[in-house]
Structure 1
Amino acid sequence: MVKTKANENIPWYFASGFPLFWGLLFFAVVIPFFYRLPTALTMEDANKNVFIAERAYKDLYTLSNIGNKLLGSMENEIEAVNFILKELKKIKEDLLEDYFDMEIDLSQASGAFSYYTRLNVYQGVQNIAVKLTPKTSTSESYLLVNSHFDSKPATPSAGDAGFMVVTMLEVLRVIATTKQTFDHPIVFLFNGAEEVGLLASHGFITQHKWAPYCKAVVNLDAAGSGGREVLFQSGPNHPWLVNYYKKYIKHPFATTVAEEIFQSGIIPSDTDFRQFTTYGKIPGLDLAQCINGFVYHTKYDTIDVIPRESLQNTGDNILSLVRGLSNATELYDTKAHQTGHAVYFDFLGIYFVNYSEAIGKFFNISAAGAAFILIYVSLWRMADVSHVSICHVARWFILVLVIQIISFVLGLALPLVVAHVFDNLGLSLTYYSTPLLVIGLYVCPSLIGLSLPITVYCSLQRNDKISNAYHVQLALHGHAVILALLAIGLTIFGLRSSYIFVIPLIFYILSLVLNLMTTLHDRGYAWTGLLKASQIIPFVYSSYIFYILIVVLTPMGGRSGSSSNWDLYIAAMAAAGTVLSFGFLMPLINSLRRPSFVVLSLLVITALSMYLASSTQIGFPYKQKTNGQRVSYLQVRNMFYEYDGTLSKDESGYLFNFQDRLREKVLLGSKVDLNGLVGIESNCDTHMMCGMPVPGVSRLNSKWLPRSEPIMPPSLTTLDMVNKIILNSTTVRFEFKLKGPSQMNLVIQPYEDVTLSNWSFTINSKPTPSTITYVIYFKYGIDNSPLNFFLELSKPNGDFNVPLFQLGVSAHYIKDDGDAQSVKFASSFPSYSILDQWPALYQRFIF
């Protein structure tokens, strides 16, 4: 029988050094590798036929200096288009004409498509498409590379997506001037309407002459600025694309976890990738900038926050990837290569791992099975060495397994409890500008949950037949069983991200095998050396992947709306990362003489962090420029016209749609006068779509601040009923002409006994017969001609001389600051506020 005396334990003063070592490993390895970028190349390297960051940076400087490129504006429709065409002309002048043909096509598109609960209708949006074809190519399969040059309101959009536009220009420039041919023509699409509903990409893929030949797409976008671009969507069902990513990407940054989180719908963003896969039925790779999301869609998305090294990183990757895919034999028949999904991830940007979903299932189940077998062997070995029956050891193992399940649950739950309590106290987003608080608020409580139950157990248990060292091993076996069961369950459920549970499990199995093959397994705590060494790679990877998620998700808490407690997402990511990183490590504190010292230290750090977050300026979420508060509101004029044409209601005010959980709370003590701010629930109960100029506006998120002085729209928006034609005894047609700004919305609500049976918005598609409200977003680019449309309504009794339907028209004057009182109101906001506001006119008619 092997017994471990107390004095064989590691001295207690090493206790604080144990978690400190792993913390230092995180800051010394994970953080530097996460932010690592290659050296930016200059014009001196141009003769090497490689991506030149200096040249791309100069292009970005010019493009971003155009300013805000809103759909329909001169900056977007004229200046940005002219800049891109000018650069393309330069490239064509330098083209190796003996090797390539280059065709530039500027086109306009108009169309319509359903998007969630609304219909997007667009007119005159612009696309610049460039086709580069090798002289020797006979292929009719094209590779499509896409990004957009338009902007959200009030941002110069250097990162989103000017960064990707200039990357495409430089990639095209290098390929077109290098004597390196390829098999398939490449189409570079610079689209001018992504930010307003993915319009231009829909127009291209459904209408352009080259679209039918595009067989795969590389889509480039951004949800941040100035770091590495992440691959966050692939396929779907085309794992060969990930194989090409692995082969050709020089600086890999990708994970299936990001793909499955994005496709779950919790991310408040979308990309053109949706249009290409949905309407073009073509597979592809979706890549985006994701670092520093605090500047995303704000006035701070400038070239100043983008290092040249970031352009070099993305340029190296995209140039190599495009060259690889342009020679892909799979492009000849992509349908033949639809063979399921892929599992993929990078390790610190150094190495990329990918395999098919089928292999992943086999791998996960095999690892779990191996864990069960080896744990049984270990239990048998413990029984043999301790001279007790296997049943005796098994009974203690079951008890310890229950303890570990409690630890696992507490490790996940305690950070969520902290997030929930802070939210109830009105202290959400305390970590928003101080990310280190995540460690104290969420990581440390998770570590307490992981360590406290097993520490209490080890201090109280009095089993002299099985050594303390064996009890600690039983705890680790229990954690392995939990991971194995999760891996099996999530694999059966179809979650490809289940690989994150298998990685630490595999390395634990390896250390267990080595310990079982030697006498280390039975020599007190001698086995802990191999275990610690084996967990270095899993710790680094698990902390790396969840650090990525926290870095990407944290800024989204400032724009995810007030209805969701984003702190829960951050706490969940921190908890999951902690449990996976430290699950096989925290039980080892019981090899120390005073493991309670570690738990006490974690409690102190947690308490201190809570104090700093709740009672000091450290916990204030916002900082000017770097971590601003997004404030979104409209300067609204609501005008309600009755059936006889009389104006029954005319009101003005500011309609707030708060972007984060704190709503107006932090503004109440500022110079902003919010007296009279009320919810709009009562409006929603009595008026179509709440009687406001944003259809479907959330009743919980939005509040109304009345204003006594009428808001005067910058220009008139007119809706004229051109004609009313009775088609038959039960159907009547109304013909309208709408003239206004580049972004308008229509809301149609038939009365109870009336059905909207037809309209002019979609070809060969009628609205579903219903009494529900129909929402139409209308936007135009360079073509600002009036919208002519008709509505056909059916009524069983044929009485068309009574009210049949309500029609609401919202007009958004986005690039206008508003009248003097609106400008004064906007100037009263704190310096850390990032305003997103403009005048809007809502007119409600009854026909």
Structure 2
Amino acid sequence: MHTDLFEMDIDVQVVSGAYIHWTMVNMYQGVQNVVVRFRTKASTSESYLLINSHFDSKPGSPGTGDDGAMVVIMLETLRVIATTRTPFHHPIIFLFNGAEENPLQASHGFITQHKWAKNCKALINLDSAGSGNREVLFQSGPNHPWLMDIYRKSVKRSFASTFAEEIFQSGLIPSDTDFRNFCDFGKVPGLDMAHSYNGYVYHTKFDGISVIPRGTLQTTGNNILGLVRTFTNSSILKDPSRHAEGHMVFYDFFGYFVVSYTESTGRILNTCVSVSAVLVIGISMYLMAADSFVSIGYTLRLFSLIFVLHLIGWILAIALPLLMATIFDSADRSMTWFTSKWLVFGLYICPMLMGLSAPTLLYLSISRNDKVSQPYRLQMVDHAHTLILSILCILLTYSSIRSSYFLMIPLLFHAISLVINMVTTLHKQAYYWSIFVMLCQIIPFLYFTYLFYALTCSIMPMMGRFGSSSNPDLYIAIISVLGTMLSMGYLIPLLNIFNRPKLVFLILPAVTLVIALIAITQIGFPYRPATNVQRVNLQEVRRVFYEYDGTVSRNESGYLFDFQDRRKELPFAPYVDLEDLYNISDECDKYMMCGMPIFNHRTTKSRRQASFLPREVPLQLPGVPQLTLLRKTINTTTETVRFEFELKGPSHMSIFVQPLEKVTVSDWSFLADMLLREPPFHVYFSYGKISTPLKFYIDLKTENSEFEEPLMQLGISGHYINFEHERDAETKKFLATFPPYSYIMEWPSSYERYMF
């Protein structure tokens, strides 16, 4: 480090706090951040650039991809800046946060409580949902277009997509990042970037250094270093709020450069291209009518027929892949593509092409319209495709779907081919017009093939942790339809140029049949040891229900399964004895939070899909949370009763509160906004360096002011997720029966239900 130019301050923050995260109060105590402030000595700027990654990992996972690689890149960026004599204007905060997986606690602690947080004016958030390769920019802003200008100028190997941003923000992706807290609680605009390749090993024991491509650190490091240098010398960083102007549309072009413009510019561009494309096909049909010596009315009637047929083709193109996805799911054969990605070609792409082309191919094969030639009628098929795309583009654009640029791209290039054909008069020379149609569709074909291949490589592994309630084949089918429609929508009608188009067409159902048969063999089995595993969250559970008089009404041990994908327990049947396994949905109707030690916000959401396997041998737990009623105080003035408690236990616990009928929670020691929601109320509590007991109170109010009767259920769950806790012999024996292609994220947990 050049001490004559730079200075560095290091602060280890130990912080406690709470905020509402999804359906729970997310409360933390004594979590850590390592914060580095690096600046040029001559700088007087008080506007900081914040760079964040997390050094914690999921229990059982080395965390090399998530998020060790990004931590290394941050450290190397700091080293390069410190050892080169290149001054910069704005200071940099390197935040190595210690509780992202918990979830997102340390970032909240930093942005709401750290002394340097108020100076942070822009953010680069670095995370991962995979293991290396290129990092994707999947969130920008919000409402700060200048961020994309900096990204475009700084990044050498870009990979960015508005489509990825809209998918992520829709909630379809089963992940979240610290970016949320920095934006929501600190109002810090920024860029959210993550590695998403090879998500099969994400959050598993296989996420080690051996699966990280070595070029990852260099490529991502170069990009981050370029961003840091541009950000720290940007005059905008002094007051970014003056440059908040709305959402951006952005996408990279094969990684070589980035196209970006504001949402309002996108509306104008999409509208102009769509309207122009419709005008061009109108001129084309006028020329067809003149050249065919028929009236424009006759031409429009013929076009209307072809338009209806092509619209039916669109419906079939969507319906057939979805039907395939439904059939395979109904036959318990979902996710056949999970390891063998190429199966998607026969299962979804071929049916899509078959459905899109069938109606017009059949019509062109049997029609005998001598007034308008076959080449002209084939051009009308592409015109019908243009009209459908134009209508959809306008509708999506004015529905604020920024990814509507997808439709603008093929429209633009097809309109160019139409203009060229009309100017050169190739449009009336047999099938020669198809040459420029194909040439002009090369770029859309390559772009959408590139984009949707990258998308499927990211989405397919995520389906392995998407949960069991939804059919993942439907999502992959929709992605396949969208990508194929955009890349080949103008090309597939050109089958009719062949002398025997029906014979060429029959290749599609033949390929579908062959690949469907392959998919139901062992090739289509989704899982492989170490590389493509089936994930299961498994809790070894002991649950005890205490009644109001202190008696125990239920004392049971067993295993709580939270299956992470659609196939659930079926792949385990040949190996594991699951004869007594049952779904707990009925218990969710009967007991508060299903009467189970629900872990966090995600398991709360999926609890009705969970299953329970009782065991005869009582579970030997490492410990049990200790709940102590300190005092019960009746306030006759407010007609409320206060229960004060002290809770001791493991580093991860949950508190569930369910007032009984005609009883309400009027106040408590946690966040008051949570009480505006419907009970049961969930408080997720975890601690790090500070392990002092949690003291809290709950105030209850009744309609009859009677406080010497049962008023509420109080559930306490304790989670021993660290592997320093020994599993009992029965658990070890049970875990040993799982097949090698499974990854079991397991931990002992307790649940006590009390009545007060």
Normalised TM-score (structure 2): 0.98
User: Equivalent residue for 1:713?
Assistant: 621
1:501 paired to 2:412: no
1:103 paired to 2:9: yes
User: What are the superposed Cα offsets for residues 433-455 of structure 1, whole Å, 9 maximum, x if unpaired?
Assistant: 10010111011111111221111
> Aligned partners of 1:204, 1:147: CA distance in 2, in Å?
12
Identify if the C-alpha distance between structure 1 residues 387 and 445 changes in structure 2 by more than 3 Å, giving closer, same or farther.
Answer: same
Q: What SS class does the counterpart of residue 478 from structure 1 fall into?
A: helix
1:556 paired to 2:427: no
Structure 1 gap segments, 5+ residues each? 1-94
Q: What displacement does 1:677 show? A: 0.7
Q: Is the 8 A contact 1:817 1:838 kept in 2?
A: no
Q: What displacement does 1:135 show? A: 1.4
User: Equivalent residue for 2:351?
Assistant: 445
Q: What SS class does the counterpart of residue 114 from structure 1 fall into?
A: strand
Q: AA paired with 1:659?
A: Q
Q: What displacement does 1:817 show? A: 5.1
Q: What displacement does 1:767 show? A: 4.7
Q: How does 1:26-425 map to 2 (within 5 A)?
A: 95-425=1-331
Q: AA paired with 2:586?
A: S
Q: What SS class does the counterpart of residue 237 from structure 1 fall into?
A: coil
User: What are the superposed Cα offsets for residues 178-207 of structure 1, whole Å, 9 maximum, x if unpaired?
Assistant: 111111111010000000110000000000
User: Equivalent residue for 2:552?
Assistant: 647
User: Equivalent residue for 2:591?
Assistant: 687
Deviates more, 1:594-603 or 1:605-614: 594-603
User: What are the superposed Cα offsets for residues 582-638 of structure 1, whole Å, 9 maximum, x if unpaired?
Assistant: 111011111110111221111111000110111x11111100011101122110000
Q: What displacement does 1:478 show? A: 0.7
User: Equivalent residue for 1:34?
Assistant: none
Q: What SS class does the counterpart of residue 2 from structure 2 fall into?
A: coil
**One of 663, 670, 678 as aligned partner of 1:761:** 670
Q: How does 1:409-808 map to 2 (within 5 A)?
A: 409-614=315-520, 616-670=521-575, 672-694=576-598, 696=604, 698=606, 700-729=608-637, 730-762=639-671, 765=672, 767-768=674-675, 772-808=679-715
Q: What SS class does the counterpart of residue 768 from structure 1 fall into?
A: helix
Q: AA paired with 2:230?
A: G
Q: What displacement does 1:797 show? A: 3.7
Q: What SS class does the counterpart of residue 321 from structure 2 fall into?
A: helix
> Aligned partners of 2:185, 2:676: CA distance in 1, in Å?
25
Q: What displacement does 1:758 show? A: 1.5
User: Equivalent residue for 1:48?
Assistant: none
> Aligned partners of 1:719, 1:166: CA distance in 2, in Å?
42
> Aligned partners of 1:618, 1:456: CA distance in 2, in Å?
35
Structure 2 gap segments, 5+ residues each? none
Identify if the C-alpha distance between structure 1 residues 457 and 767 changes in structure 2 by more than 3 Å, giving closer, same or farther.
Answer: closer
> Aligned partners of 2:664, 2:342: CA distance in 1, in Å?
57
User: Equivalent residue for 1:819?
Assistant: 728
> Aligned partners of 2:36, 2:170: CA distance in 1, in Å?
34
Q: What displacement does 1:551 show? A: 1.1
Amino-acid identity (%): 52
Q: Is the 8 A contact 1:750 1:805 kept in 2?
A: yes
Q: AA paired with 1:723?
A: R
> Aligned partners of 1:796, 1:422: CA distance in 2, in Å?
54
Q: What displacement does 1:410 show? A: 1.7
Q: What SS class does the counterpart of residue 381 from structure 2 fall into?
A: helix
User: What are the superposed Cα offsets for residues 467-525 of structure 1, whole Å, 9 maximum, x if unpaired?
Assistant: 11111111011101111111101001010000011101100011111111012111001
> Aligned partners of 2:680, 2:304: CA distance in 1, in Å?
58
Q: What displacement does 1:761 show? A: 2.0
> Aligned partners of 2:111, 2:636: CA distance in 1, in Å?
38
Q: Is the 8 A contact 2:630 2:644 kept in 1?
A: yes
Q: Is the 8 A contact 1:757 1:769 kept in 2?
A: no
Q: Is the 8 A contact 1:445 1:603 kept in 2?
A: yes
Q: What displacement does 1:699 show? A: 5.1
> Aligned partners of 1:280, 1:262: CA distance in 2, in Å?
21
Q: AA paired with 1:785?
A: T
> Aligned partners of 1:458, 1:799: CA distance in 2, in Å?
82
> Aligned partners of 1:704, 1:521: CA distance in 2, in Å?
67
> Aligned partners of 1:468, 1:726: CA distance in 2, in Å?
89
Q: Is the 8 A contact 2:467 2:606 kept in 1?
A: no
Q: What displacement does 1:344 show? A: 0.6
> Aligned partners of 2:302, 2:450: CA distance in 1, in Å?
35
Deviates more, 1:733-742 or 1:787-796: 787-796
> Aligned partners of 2:565, 2:648: CA distance in 1, in Å?
34
Q: Is the 8 A contact 2:48 2:121 kept in 1?
A: yes
Deviates more, 1:341-350 or 1:715-724: 715-724
Q: AA paired with 1:674?
A: L
Normalised TM-score (structure 1): 0.87
Q: Is the 8 A contact 1:113 1:121 kept in 2?
A: yes
User: What are the superposed Cα offsets for residues 244-296 of structure 1, whole Å, 9 maximum, x if unpaired?
Assistant: 10000010001000000111111110000000000001111000000001001
Deviates more, 1:702-711 or 1:795-804: 795-804
Identify if the C-alpha distance between structure 1 residues 471 and 706 changes in structure 2 by more than 3 Å, giving closer, same or farther.
Answer: same
**One of 720, 742, 745 as aligned partner of 1:833:** 742
Q: What displacement does 1:753 show? A: 2.4
> Aligned partners of 1:258, 1:380: CA distance in 2, in Å?
41
Q: What displacement does 1:361 show? A: 0.5
Q: Is the 8 A contact 2:675 2:681 kept in 1?
A: no
Q: What displacement does 1:687 show? A: 1.1
> Aligned partners of 2:726, 2:341: CA distance in 1, in Å?
34
Q: What SS class does the counterpart of residue 558 from structure 1 fall into?
A: helix
Q: Is the 8 A contact 1:635 1:818 kept in 2?
A: no
Q: What displacement does 1:154 show? A: 0.8
> Aligned partners of 1:796, 1:465: CA distance in 2, in Å?
84
